[in-house]
């Protein structure tokens, strides 16, 4: 099939999922066209089967807000016509589903019928989409999609609760391509980061409020009081500066490394023992899945879709949002003993393996076939 994928090109989970999905579809022989404002961060190789079309939004001083949706829907119309695209897959409802629907309608005027799949990722529903300023447009574009998918059962239920949805929502969980993660740990440069006797705790996110970065630091503070440990903080975002200050105030600056954004997180996860994800909202928790496939145990909050991924007492532990004492005590339970840690690490890998792309990709292909019938 010739598929157009619309996504955010940044480090965010929805962009990563869309990009990895597109790459895998191209490997399976589909022709994939990414349409967004910048080349997606994980999209390195373009080729016969994999294309990128940049959406340009010309600056005009009259506009206080430049009309991205307009430029995106026009780009979609042109690309669909030029390449004979057969299907649109938009990731993140705002504003992609809205722009996709406009493109669909414009194309219909010219006798071209193109089905649209919308994948809901989380913040487009739980944080941004439910705001009264956006809600009518989000409800409309979900209902007008030919097929709607969500990345967890919890997100599906939240969408049904928060919006007036007439469409069926199919759950297709996020996935991981195991072949991209090495099982050869010989070039893992652990010694550069920590002493042999230190445990390595890691957090990866966009450092937004929803990730509860102060909780990450407070949990680690309690851990390092009991055992030798280092904390790797990966990512960039508005809460980073405060986090650095917090580490300074707590006197643990020398034990915390801020690594910024990384396109090679497996090189950090390969030497990590424990991943912390204390988020106050998380529809899935892709970063935790990436940790788990790298044999990293997880201590997380029990919110949203996380319990569908992190299994209590198996791949890690879960606690109520904000309960840093419980999270720290559970983390120590895992980290204190070598055998316990190895067991949790191995289990994390096993649980993550269930989300192998080979199991999930056919679900998207099924959905595409179904949507195609709506033409
Ligand atoms: O986590 C973020 O803030 C980024 C956000 C995004 O839209 O890129 O991530 C959401 O989508 C990811 C991929 O499906 C999920 O793994 C994340 O759980 C979800 N984030 C939230 O629900 C807060």
pLDDT of residue 185: 64
| pLDDT beyond 70 at 273 | yes
Name the closest-CA residue to atom 20, ligand 1: 282
Output the six-digit token pair for 140. Answer: 């409309």
Residue 141 Cβ inside 6 Å of ligand 1? The answer reads: no
Residue 159 Cβ inside 6 Å of ligand 1? The answer reads: no
What is the arithmetic mean of pLDDT over 222-231?
Answer: 98
Residue 123 Cβ inside 6 Å of ligand 1? The answer reads: yes
Among 283, 306, 357, which is best to mutate for testing ligand 1, by the most ligand atoms less than 8 A from CB?
A: 283
Cis peptide before 95 (omega within 30 of 0): yes
pLDDT of residue 184: 66
Atom of ligand 1 at shortest range from CA of 15: 8
| pLDDT beyond 90 at 375 | no
Ligand 1 centroid distance, CA of 289 (Å): 12
What is the arithmetic mean of pLDDT over 34-42?
Answer: 91
Residue 122 Cβ inside 6 Å of ligand 1? The answer reads: yes
Among 121, 128, 291, which is best to mutate for testing ligand 1, by the most ligand atoms less than 8 A from CB?
A: 121
- 50 close to 25: Cβ distance less than 8 angstroms: no
Ligand 1 centroid distance, CA of 98 (Å): 19
Ligand 1 centroid distance, CA of 340 (Å): 30
| pLDDT beyond 90 at 277 | yes
Confidence class for position 374, pLDDT limits 50, 70, 90? confident
Domains and CATH numbers, the chain: 2-175+356-372 (3.40.50.2000), 178-353 (3.40.50.2000)
CA distances from 2 to 80, 255, 368 (A): 9, 49, 11
Residue 163 Cβ inside 6 Å of ligand 1? The answer reads: no
User: Considering just the CA atoms, what is the radius of gyration of the chain in Å?
Assistant: 21
Atom of ligand 1 at shortest range from CA of 289: 16
- 158 close to 130: Cβ distance less than 8 angstroms: no
Per-residue exposure over 25-56, b if at least 16 CB sit within 10 Å of its own CB, e if not:
bbeeebbbbbbbeeebbbbeeeeebbbbeebe
| pLDDT beyond 80 at 135 | yes
> Among the listed ranges 13-22, 132-141, 186-195, 225-234, which one has the minimum average pLDDT value?
186-195
pLDDT of residue 264: 82
In angstroms, the CA 295 to CA 347 distance is 8
**Reported ipTM exceeds the 0.90 cut:** yes
Residue 34 Cβ inside 6 Å of ligand 1? The answer reads: no
Residue 206 Cβ inside 6 Å of ligand 1? The answer reads: yes
> Among the listed ranges 108-117, 262-271, 324-333, which one has the minimum average pLDDT value?
262-271
- 325 close to 342: Cβ distance less than 8 angstroms: no
Contacts of 4 (CB under 8 A, 6+ apart): 33, 34, 35, 76, 79, 80, 85, 87, 88, 89
pTM for this model (two decimals): 0.94
pLDDT of residue 225: 98
- Write down the H helix ranges in 37-134: 68-83, 96-109, 123-126
Atom of ligand 1 at shortest range from CA of 210: 23
Ligand 1 centroid distance, CA of 315 (Å): 20
- 57 close to 37: Cβ distance less than 8 angstroms: yes
In tens, the pLDDT along 236-260 reads 999 999 999 999 999 999 999 999 9
Name the closest-CA residue to atom 21, ligand 1: 282
Confidence class for position 29, pLDDT limits 50, 70, 90? very high
pLDDT of residue 132: 86
């Amino acid at each position: 099939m010739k598929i157009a994928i619309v996504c955010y090109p940044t480090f965010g989970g929805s962009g990563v999922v869309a990009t990895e999905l597109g790459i895998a579809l191209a490997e399976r022989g589909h022709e994939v066209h990414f349409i967004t404002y910048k080349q997606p961060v994980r999209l390195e190789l373009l080729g016969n089967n994999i294309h990128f079309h940049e959406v340009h939004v010309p600056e005009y001083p009259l506009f206080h807000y430049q009309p991205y949706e307009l430029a995106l829907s026009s780009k979609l119309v042109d690309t669909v016509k030029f390449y004979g695209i057969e299907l649109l897959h938009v990731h993140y409802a705002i504003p992609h589903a809205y722009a996709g629907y406009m493109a669909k309608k414009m194309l219909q005027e010219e006798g071209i019928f193109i089905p649209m799949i919308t994948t809901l990722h989380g913040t487009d529903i739980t944080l941004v989409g439910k705001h009264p300023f956006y809600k009518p447009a989000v409800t409309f574009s979900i209902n007008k999609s030919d097929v709607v998918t969500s990345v967890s059962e919890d997100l599906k239920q939240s969408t049904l609760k928060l919006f007036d949805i007439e469409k069926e929502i199919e759950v297709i969980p996020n996935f991981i391509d195991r072949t991209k993660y090495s099982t050869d740990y010989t070039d893992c440069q652990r010694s550069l980061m920590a002493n042999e006797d230190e445990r390595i705790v890691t957090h990866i996110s966009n450092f937004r409020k929803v990730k509860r970065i102060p909780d990450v630091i407070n949990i680690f503070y309690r851990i390092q009081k009991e055992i030798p440990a280092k904390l790797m903080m990966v990512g960039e975002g508005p809460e980073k500066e405060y986090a650095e200050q917090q580490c300074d105030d707590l006197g643990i600056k020398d034990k915390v490394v801020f690594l910024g954004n990384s396109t090679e997180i497996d090189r950090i996860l390969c030497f990590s023992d424990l991943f912390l994800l204390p988020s106050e909202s998380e529809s899935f928790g892709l970063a935790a899945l990436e940790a788990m496939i790298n044999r990293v145990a997880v201590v997380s909050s029990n919110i949203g879709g996380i319990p569908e991924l992190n299994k209590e007492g198996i791949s890690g532990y879960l606690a109520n949002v904000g309960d840093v004492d419980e999270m720290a005590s559970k983390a120590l339970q895992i980290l204190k003993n070598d055998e316990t840690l190895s067991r949790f690490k191995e289990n994390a890998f096993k649980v993550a393996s269930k989300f192998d792309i080979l199991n999930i990709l056919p679900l998207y292909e099924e959905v595409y076939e179904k949507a195609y019938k709506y033409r």
